[in-house]
Chain A
Amino acid sequence: EDQVTQSPEALRLQEGESSSLNCSYTVSGLRGLFWYRQDPGKGPEFLFTLYSAGEEKEKERLKATLTKKESFLHITAPKPEDSATYLCAVQAYDNTGKLIFGQGTTLQVKP
């Protein structure tokens, strides 16, 4: 069964304290792995798509990496405005258009 597990569930950082969020996945055939940011009361906001092991993408203080079993979202020198829930999702090679999401990691960055 296709599955996505994120850890930790919650993470508290001081401003400037770098860290990583983990996304472990099991999927029959990976078409793409997606990272989203979700603020309270809002819909998920697209961050990155990764397609193959070894691929990396960066955006401001965020960097996403992908291996055959997991993905990491590295946050360098975070700021309070980076506080949000970060969601990881995978798409398999089927024609359903389905994304399978993890439960998310809630990040709080304190000034």
Chain B
Amino acid sequence: ETGVTQSPTHLIKTRGQQVTLRCSSQSGHNTVSWYQQALGQGPQFIFQYYREEENGRGNFPPRFSGLQFPNYSSELNVNALELDDSALYLCASSYDRALDTQYFGPGTRLTVL
């Protein structure tokens, strides 16, 4: 049990819709990273938030956006969904951007039809 929770567990959307995924970090963790994991692939870095500011971003278009709140919960928003957005979305929390204390949540499985 990592203390990182995500909601919802599963989600089905249609192409063109918008989706919001939520993550609750482990208590005291001020850094959250989001990853996209396609079936049979390793996770791909979307972005990281540190103390409510975006700290780094991977090769994802602007329709992927995020927020981190003072209570260390966070959101991943995806606009104009495409079929290729179907994947497992993982959040991971850590303290002060230290990745060797980074804990992953169980993920949200998004299916875009």
Interface residues of A (CB under 8 A from B): 4, 6, 32, 34, 36, 41-46, 49, 87, 89, 91, 94-104
Contact = CB atoms under 8 A, between A and B. Distances in A.
Interface of B: 2, 4, 31, 33, 35, 40-45, 48, 50, 55-58, 90, 92, 97, 99-100, 102-107
B56 A46 contact: no
Contacts of A91: 99
Nearest to A88: B42
Nearest to B58: A98
A94 to B, nearest CB: 7
A45 B104 contact: yes
Contacts of B55: 95-97
Contact of A104 (B2, B42, B102): B42
A89 B35 CA distance: 13
A97 B4 contact: no
A90 to B, nearest CB: 10
A46 B107 contact: no
Contacts of A95: 55-56
A43 B99 contact: no
A97 B31 contact: yes
30 contacts: A4-B42, A32-B99, A34-B99, A34-B100, A36-B104, A41-B106, A41-B107, A43-B2, A43-B92, A43-B105, A43-B106, A44-B104, A46-B100, A46-B102, A49-B99, A89-B42, A89-B43, A94-B56, A95-B56, A96-B48, A96-B56, A97-B31, A97-B48, A97-B55, A97-B99, A99-B99, A100-B45, A101-B35, A103-B41, A104-B42
